[in-house]
Structure 1
């Protein structure tokens, strides 16, 4: 099973250095990637999110050299794949594996043969290849479906076969190209849980591209936000959820944690001070509103409040309307700023 590249001394699994990718167009060249700099740590689950056309698919194809930079360099395990001759490139590509959105299974051979296929193409003997394929299928919970054909499986089972096929080669980096977008919510969560097991138990670096912020929230440790071929924001998933800086990051975060009030409410409260509070972990259960009322004499109207789990932590978000004297508001604002992870005045 995967060893996650543990024999390598470097802490960096993948590094993009000023990577640009242009494609010839009828007029000017189309720029798919524009001077992208990214560093993916070994053992990380790194997510890239963006709308269609943002450059995500081109980015992920750089890691196994299916695309090569027009400018810049991509290092995988310290190696510039684009610089390798064909024979060495084929060998280096075995250090990566990909999970696809549409499963990419061969319908005319069994589940076992699908999983063993990469090993057979590498010249591994049938008996050894099948033994390793059985081990991978048992890991993903399909040890009893070795003789089934893909057409006899559900979508979630097909994706688990795809994961087994991807990990059977012991990859250092596992690439996931919209791997959950064809699945229902329950099956998506099962796939996320399985990928987290792969990362946790084998230390495999996982690189995920998606347009679903829920996948980033539940699976990834780090995230980069892409728009028009550029990385516009990056950081830990927690930091981006708590303090999204760019409009596109704010829009993606709002699909999980709503950031704005409905227009009808905005019209009704226009002209009144509004505060946006963000809570983390124990702050969520602290009686903040009661304190504002009892200790500072403010009138408080809660306009919006919610909370969500981001992996093993709880994040809360609240928008409140406050009424009181300027001094009361100033003192209360200073009090809150020391007790919550994020506080700002909302400008309508």
Structure 2
């Protein structure tokens, strides 16, 4: 029986239970994490988003025990890392791979030797390690660059080398610490596709730490939003995009789907009622505005409209100015509330 079976966490790859992490002495301690409870299902791509200083980098360092919690516990594959001996911890870390923002490659050795290095450190022969490294590099699309040096590669290629090195031991959990932040948008999408393929082909649990909501949208299945060392909101990516509950979550969603109108526009519309509408899938193509005009005799001015694809579904967002008798506006509002994912009045 495995440790995961013993603690009943066979479906959970990583679990944080009441985790607090302080740095410094008690009188001057900085609280990086404050009572974090979080479970990451096995085989899922899970995102953690927050601004600088939110605690997300400390969170990810706890997963491979580069940091240990001041209070609470972190279980990886059912094992509490804080209670392992040095030798046991070395073994446990081999089940966790890490991809860095700045690649962390050795410039003086070839791409092949960079990727083979973790296996060489495990005592595997040079020939066997290089054979495995060649397979990993072919998987990430760099089979033709085995003899190149990092300085001869683009940023995207360097990150592919980093991914190959991270998966060489076939880890159960892959940690991505701002892995796309140094890349241009086109290369970011390529790396996202590659990480998704790692998850699908190997069943690897991937924990993504980022400040980019676009990465969460395009890669992750679930997300936790962090602020001030706390997880303030979490759920499926779709749920957080469609129903953000906290100001910080709404701000992050707004970087992908604008949520607010410019102040100049707000001044121009005066005190007229504004409605924010959210649509999902086939609701996006429903002639909502035409129905408000035709069936309820309202005047409708579209101030903003946008749509995006999230998790293979289409999410639409619209802000409209609505004018007409109050009874007809109320009837139209109730009509929409029954037919679209959400509606709210944002200015009366």
Q: Which band: TM-score by shorter chain?
A: over 0.9
Aligned twin of 1:63: 63
Deviations 1:134-167 (A, max 9, x none): 1100100001111111111000000000000000
Aligned twin of 2:102: 102
Matches within 5 A, 1:332-343: 332-343=332-343
Deviations 1:326-347 (A, max 9, x none): 1111111111011111111113
Aligned twin of 2:15: 15
Aligned mates of 2:269, 2:26 — CA distance in 1: 51
Aligned twin of 2:261: 261
Q: Check conservation: 2:238, 2:311, Cα contact below 8 A.
A: no
SS at match of 2:186: helix
Aligned mates of 1:280, 1:224 — CA distance in 2: 22
Structure 1, unpaired ranges of 5+: none
SS at match of 2:28: coil
| 2:184 equivalent to 1:187 | no
Aligned mates of 1:98, 1:247 — CA distance in 2: 31
SS at match of 1:295: helix
Deviations 1:39-59 (A, max 9, x none): 000011110111111101100
SS at match of 2:22: strand
Aligned mates of 2:143, 2:347 — CA distance in 1: 56
Aligned mates of 1:80, 1:73 — CA distance in 2: 7
Q: How many residues end up aligned between the 2 structures?
A: 342
Aligned twin of 2:303: 303
Aligned mates of 1:227, 1:178 — CA distance in 2: 17
Aligned mates of 1:338, 1:200 — CA distance in 2: 37
Aligned mates of 1:225, 1:9 — CA distance in 2: 23
SS at match of 2:296: coil
Q: Check conservation: 2:9, 2:78, Cα contact below 8 A.
A: no
Deviations 1:78-136 (A, max 9, x none): 00011100000000110001000000000111100000000000111111111110110
Aligned twin of 2:227: 227
SS at match of 2:187: helix
Aligned mates of 1:216, 1:185 — CA distance in 2: 14
Aligned twin of 1:173: 173
Aligned twin of 1:197: 197
Aligned twin of 1:150: 150
**Offset of residue 293 of structure 1:** 0.7
Aligned mates of 2:48, 2:270 — CA distance in 1: 37
- Larger mean CA deviation between 167-176 and 264-273 belongs to 264-273
SS at match of 2:39: strand
Aligned twin of 2:326: 326
Aligned mates of 1:68, 1:346 — CA distance in 2: 44
Q: CA RMSD in A?
A: 1.3
Aligned mates of 1:347, 1:301 — CA distance in 2: 14
Give me the TM-score of the superposition, normalised by structure 2.
Answer: 0.96
Structure 2, unpaired ranges of 5+: none
Aligned mates of 1:182, 1:26 — CA distance in 2: 36
